[in-house]
Amino acid sequence: MPEKKPSARGQHRLDVRKTYKLYIGGAFPRSESGRSYPVTGADGDLLGYAAQASRKDARDAVTAGRAALRGWSGATAYNRGQVLYRVAEMMEGRSAQFADVSVQGGDRDGLVAAAIDRWVWYAGWPDKVAQVAGAANPVAGPYFNFSVPEPTGVVAVVAPAESGLLGLVSVVAPVIATGNTAVVIASEERPLAAITLSEVLATSDLPGGVVNVLTGRTAELAPVLAGHMDVNAIDLTGVPPAGRPDLERLAAENVKRVFAADEDWTAAPGTRRLLAFLETKTVWHPIGI
């Protein structure tokens, strides 16, 4: 129960708990359904209320992601890296707040620092990933042949349920670092890290719509995004293995790229997630004489 505090008149009062909103297209709308649900801490105390997104909210988030895709993927890789680094700077400034909303227990400050370092690590990749994923291919004939990585498009991401900020950063940052836009389903029971991150994104240089954050019931939202015909790929990391086959079948309707990996978030990330949502374009060019 919320702690009762004495008021100016000496009477006890209840704290006013915040009702958090969604983050779609760079704005903070309420759920069109008007629903919300309580968020509690590890000790069971009420921390606030999160918006319970509906299917329409999920569709609106996809529309916002699609609208932002051309500008974000068309930006220079160097510029995307600078924008991501600016996000890390702002996360550093709000590290105490991130620690407060973390409910993993243990070394919360250390986990927040690790999450910021992870974001910085991914911020360094946008202008380097083409050298890792691309190639100049040898061919027989008077031609140049290049393999060039390109963003997949709008990527739906189901954030890990058990991890807070570190797991969230580990699934979102690589998606946008490579030029994709993201529609993120936050952890159902622990959404405050995602909500706080969305507040950072809204006040950073990241264009609206590049990251869209939905809070609510994963079982309600994940099938909508898996079956949405304008979603190009989906990361099912936050879905238990038993629930993935049904979502994979929905994703097959428009041949979505499906990725899922159970990971130790404290381990070195490697490049697997960076390469998961890239397409390879092969270009032929004649050699002039």
* Nearest C-alpha neighbor of 210 from the set 89, 95, 88, 80: 80
| pLDDT attached to residue 154 | 98
| pLDDT attached to residue 101 | 81
1 pLDDT exceeds 50? no
CATH 3.20.20.60 fits 54-286, yes or no: no
**pLDDT higher at 10 or 95:** 95
Instruction: Tell me the average pLDDT across 23-27.
Output: 97
Highest averaged pLDDT of the listed ranges 5-19, 76-90, 159-173: 76-90
Find the angle CA(253)-CA(189)-CA(204) to the nearest 5 degrees. Answer: 80
| pLDDT attached to residue 209 | 97
Spatial distance between the Cα atoms of 128 and 230, rounded to a whole number of angstroms:
28
DSSP code, position 1: -
Name the pTM for this structure: 0.90
99 pLDDT exceeds 50? yes
34 pLDDT exceeds 70? yes
9 pLDDT exceeds 80? no
Q: How, if at all, do strands 257-259 and 233-235 pair? A: parallel
Highest averaged pLDDT of the listed ranges 9-23, 169-183, 258-272: 169-183
Using one digit for the tens of pLDDT, what is the confidence trace for 59-97? 999 999 999 999 999 999 999 999 999 999 999 999 999
237 pLDDT exceeds 70? yes
